[in-house]
Amino acid sequence: MAFKSISTVVARCLSSLERSLGLDRSVPQANLRLVADGLAGALAIGLVATTPVAAQEKPSSLGLGVFTFTSGPAAAYGMPGKNAADLMIDEINAKGGIEGVPVKATYVDEAQGAQGVIAEYRRLAGDAQNQVMIAALSSATCLALAPLAEQLEVPTVGWNCDTHQLLIDGKSKYVFRPNGNTVPEFIAYAIYLLERKPDVKTVAIINPDYAFGHDAAKIFTAALKALKPDVEIVAELYPKLGSPNYQTEISRLTTAHPDVVFSNFWGADLENFVRQATPRGLFTSSQVVLALGETVLQRVPLPDGVIVGVLGDGWWMSPDAKVNQETVKFAEAYKARFGEYPVFPAIKMANTLIYVKAAYKAAMQKNGGKWPSRADLADAMKGSTVATLTGTVRTRADNDGLVDQIVGVTVKTPTQQFPVIGDMVRYKGDSLMPQGGQDPLAWISTLKPEFSKSLPKPGSYK
């Protein structure tokens, strides 16, 4: 084994060096020895990791780097993603893997922060067996990894990466996002809200205090102002991400008495907010819009009539999903294994894996059945159209994805113990997206009140 021999050689060199320097064998030196051996081990691991693998032969296994939050508060969103990846990869391997090659995922915890994530990305990219990175959940991570992906030329597929800044320069060759972004996601809510409540006058916003919350507020406000110029934003609150207590904010919201309260809280924040706001009557005094409301449907009792959605088309009970055998099977298997139906982050991850699988298939078809290189895979992703569990994802020329947006309101159903989404609408992905290279906020401000006339109406998606 290369590993063993290298490390023995290096360790020997180091120990002979120690002897020649006349270091005695006292306890502290034994510790020094340990440090030296550790360094030697690191060296050896590095050498093994860089051993090249022939690109054109089918490897014995295919590595995927999967980046998500597996610890910390953001794991509330990250773990469904990891669970879905686990399940999906098991299902793929049960059928013989991707194009006959079994898949092995290495999970990287984004809670380490940008530095750790970059180090891990570089390490994984150094091993040629890891051909694709599925990265990442957090927009900050995606923005930090994107230049790296281009430089190292590793196809990197954002499974969440909501920020509209990610692919804005249109120059990406290796970064893909087969997923919606903040622009269509939050415009969809503005349109749906105005269709359902055309006489809205006052709106309050309460979002988490980081880029995602601020971006969403900016886009939602801009869309509302463009579609209905007389709408007034009466309060904009940005509590800290991970706050346990929202009583002050709820007081502000109730005294402002807005027609509509919009929020893109998620995870534990959203659960806490709903639990604290319900007894104080916020849900009866105002129309509440919870952009990521679907993630807590199975966990907290949301009242009827709350506008919720899935930031994309990843609703496991949507009409399209219900007629897709794969999706039904996936949802049941997920429920059996993790005790909950797959919330939309889980569906996003599953769809991303399907997207990667499709890229392999397309790349191999194109080069006559030979195992694709990283560049071949990136080529195959470019401009692709892939059928997912819940719809279709199209990849534009700028590598941004076009997925439909499903929005609806909570309703009770006799078939489930928790509220589901009813009165749904499904907006076509491209109808809510600016052209590639266009500044999204400038594009939103050009929208006219007539814009929504051509779009489907609430309740039309059955």
Where does this chain bind other proteins (CB under 8 A)?
Answer: 17, 21, 26, 28-29, 31-32, 35, 38-39, 42-43, 45-47, 49-50, 70-71, 106-109, 112-116, 118-120, 122-123, 125-126, 139-140, 143-144, 147-148, 151, 163, 165, 209-211, 214
CB of 401 to other proteins, least distance (A): 20
Residue 276 CA to residue 270 CA, distance in Å, equals: 10
CB of 318 to other proteins, least distance (A): 31
CB of 178 to other proteins, least distance (A): 21
* DSSP letter assigned to residue 98: B
The radius of gyration of the chain's CA atoms, rounded to the nearest angstrom, is 25
Contacts of 59 (CB under 8 A, 6+ apart): 53, 101, 129, 371
Query: Measured from the CB atom, is 109 or 376 closer to other proteins?
Result: 109
CB of 436 to other proteins, least distance (A): 20
* Strand partners of residue 288: 261
Contacts of 207 (CB under 8 A, 6+ apart): 213, 214, 216, 217, 237, 238, 262, 263, 264, 265
Residue 73 CA to residue 318 CA, distance in Å, equals: 28
Residue 78 CA to residue 344 CA, distance in Å, equals: 11
CB of 238 to other proteins, least distance (A): 8
Query: Measured from the CB atom, is 115 or 454 closer to other proteins?
Result: 115
Residue 24 CA to residue 26 CA, distance in Å, equals: 6
Place of tokens 């800290």: 240
Query: Measured from the CB atom, is 96 or 126 closer to other proteins?
Result: 126
Query: Measured from the CB atom, is 27 or 94 closer to other proteins?
Result: 27
Query: Measured from the CB atom, is 51 or 385 closer to other proteins?
Result: 51
Contact status, residue 426 vs residue 458, Cβ threshold 8 Å: no
Query: Measured from the CB atom, is 139 or 287 closer to other proteins?
Result: 139
CB of 119 to other proteins, least distance (A): 5
The phi, psi pair for 211, rounded to 5°, reads -50, -40
Query: Measured from the CB atom, is 70 or 276 closer to other proteins?
Result: 70
Residue 357 CA to residue 370 CA, distance in Å, equals: 15
Residue 428 CA to residue 433 CA, distance in Å, equals: 9
Amino acid, res. 188: A
CB of 40 to other proteins, least distance (A): 9
